[in-house]
Amino acid sequence: MQGFRREGTDRAPTIRFDYVNHVLELRGESYPEDVSAYYRPMFESLEEYFRTKAPKSLRMEIELIYFNSSSARVLMRLLDMLDRFAAGGRDVLVNWRHRPDDELIRETGEEFAEDLANLRFVLCETA
């Protein structure tokens, strides 16, 4: 498996997981009609990646403009999954990207970070 890709829409993010270079990207807006259906293939792919490739280190880039409350739950699940993976001795870096004036996205990132004990979570201002 080389990776997982899903092109976004105006209501769903673009997902680009590169399993060769171990860089996972999630960018855009997230308030799809059916949140579970949109993200299910991504979770399935990620589980297989962890199981079969077992990377020593990986980097996740999250740059979301807006996400609704159902998507927040999905993000928490994703971050919990990465955190558990990091607990097994893997180096996991999450870059949480937000515009400098975007207080809401920054605050939400801080809230997510509070509950993640094993991965490195970095808030990054975009240009």
Partner 1 sequence: MQVEEVFDFAKLLNSRGILLCYSGYFSEKVLSGLGDTLKMKMAVDETDLTTSKKVFSVFVEQAQNIIRYSADRLPETGGTNGELRYGLVTIGFDNGRFFILGANRVLSSDVPALRRRLEKISTMDKDELRSFYKEKMRGPVEETSKGAGLGFIEIARRARAPVEFGFKEIDDGSTFFFLRAYI
Q: In 3D, which of 89, 88, 121 has the Cα closest to residue 106? A: 121
Residue 33 found at the interface with partner 1 (CB under 8 A): yes
- Nearer CB in complex with partner 1: 99/120: 99
Q: Does 43 bind partner 1 (CB under 8 A)?
A: no
CB 47 within 8 A of CB 80: no
Q: Does 27 bind partner 1 (CB under 8 A)?
A: no
Q: Residue 9 and residue 61: Cα distance in Å, rounded?
A: 18
User: Which x/- pattern over 53-92 shows residues binding partner 1 (rule: CB under 8 A)?
Assistant: -------------x-xxx-xx--x---x------------
Does residue 89 contact residue 98 with C-beta atoms inside 8 Å?
A: no
Beta-bridge partner residues of 22? none
Q: What does the alpha-carbon distance between residue 46 and residue 49 come to, in Å, rounded to a whole number?
A: 5
**Interactions with partner 1, residue window 86-125 (CB under 8 A):** 99, 101-104, 111, 114-115
CA 58 to chain centre: 12
The smaller minimum CB distance to partner 1, of residues 103 and 125, is found at: 103
Question: Which positions touch partner 1 (CB under 8 A)?
Answer: 10-11, 31, 33, 35, 66, 68-70, 72-73, 76, 80, 99, 101-104, 111, 114-115
